[in-house]
Amino acid sequence: MSEAVTATLTRSLRGTDLLETFTVLRGELGAPHLSTVPLLPERGPHAELAARTCAVLDSLYADRQPHGWRISGVPGDDSRRARRQLESDLNMVADVLGAESGADTGPIAFSLLGPVSLAATVHVHNGEKLQSDPGARRDLAQSWCSGVADLVAVLRRNTDGRGVVLVLEEPELERVVTGRIPTASGYRTLRALPRHELRVTLSDAVAACRAAGAETVVLDAGAAGIDWTPRVGADVAVLDLPDGPTEQWEPLAALHEAGVRLCFDTVPVTGRTPVSELVRRVLGPWRELGMDPAALLGTVLAPSAQISELTPPHLPDALQRVTHLGGALTEACNEG
């Protein structure tokens, strides 16, 4: 575990120049922080998270329809374009890292839509959500796990053997669990999937990431991550930074005691909240629970959704606000 509170990025960004953006991230989030291959949706639908993830699938493909991405067993123009986009992005990573002159050999993070949320997002041939078809769910999960192996191999090759951190984005997990995913028509909702099936699907995905060589697997599932991260064996849970009473920190302390690292991705990057106030907001309730401040070393901080609204010229200042908070928290944790 890192003996510092570090920073990363979990949000998509504005702009269309991936090379420039990744170069900025390398400058602001170099070791000990965690730089990531960012998502820039303004480049078009083939550069969005769902398209990136479909491009990773093994022996399954996706094409765009009026209602969204549709999974198919036959490659089409859209699937080829998404895969070319992914290949170009991975080659860009190699170019940027190859041009660096420093000794930063820290890991690189890469986000994918997890298999549960992917099934709740894409469609099958009849236009319905893939989640509605048990056989299609199994095929998609297997294709996802197989494709991850190739992705990690390329990432490691293109990053000169650096460690790979895979972030599984599961924004729909809670709605899948509670049966609130709408059908294609929008007039009904799909029935909730069995928790056992979801646990197996996500556990298999985490295991596939590890078997492929990922050094860390992160689950970003919102509040659902509190229960599901330890259940499926992920290393890090991405959660909101509590802003209420100390009791809100109790499940986070329990996660830490279960061996799960915490990533808070709601650090404000605009406004004038002093860093000292943010430090107090974290350490105050942590101490009130009787937890050792040093236990927070290894925690990761990330900007709030505000960063997705900032234009590229404002990105460095926003990231510096997060890294400065990480430094202040590290110092405070070491002081006890």
Can you tell me the mean pLDDT for 234-259? 96
Helices 315-335, 275-288: crossing angle, 10 deg rounding: 40
CA gap 254, 231 in Å, rounded: 13
Nearest CA to 144 out of 174, 118, 179 is that of 118
Q: What is the pLDDT of residues 35-46, one digit of tens each?
A: 999 999 999 999
The pLDDT of residue 250 is above 60: yes
Can you tell me the mean pLDDT for 9-14? 98
- Banded model confidence at residue 130, pLDDT cuts 50, 70, 90: very high
Nearest CA to 85 out of 23, 36, 40 is that of 40
- Banded model confidence at residue 223, pLDDT cuts 50, 70, 90: very high
- Banded model confidence at residue 1, pLDDT cuts 50, 70, 90: very low
Q: Is the pTM of this model over 0.95?
A: yes
Mean pLDDT of the chain: 96
Q: How far is CA 283 from CA 65, 300, 305, in A?
A: 49, 14, 23
CA gap 142, 204 in Å, rounded: 9
Total Cβ atoms within 10 A of residue 62: 26
User: What is the share, in percent, of the chain residues with pLDDT greater than 70?
Assistant: 99
- Banded model confidence at residue 2, pLDDT cuts 50, 70, 90: low
Kindly list the domain boundaries of the chain, sorted by start residue: 44-239
Q: Are 132 and 183 in contact (CB under 8 A)?
A: yes
Can you tell me the mean pLDDT for 308-331? 96
pLDDT at res. 272: 82
pLDDT at res. 132: 98
What is the enclosing helix (H) or strand (E) of 199? helix 195-212
- Token digits of residue 40: 């820039």
Q: Are 254 and 291 in contact (CB under 8 A)?
A: no
CA gap 287, 35 in Å, rounded: 30
Q: How far is CA 234 from CA 17, 33, 98, 251, in A?
A: 32, 20, 30, 16
The b/e string for 153-185 (b: 16+ C-beta within 10 A; e otherwise) is ebbbebbeebbbbbbbbbbbbbbbbeeebeebe
Q: What is the pLDDT of residues 150-176, one digit of tens each?
A: 999 999 999 999 999 999 999 999 999
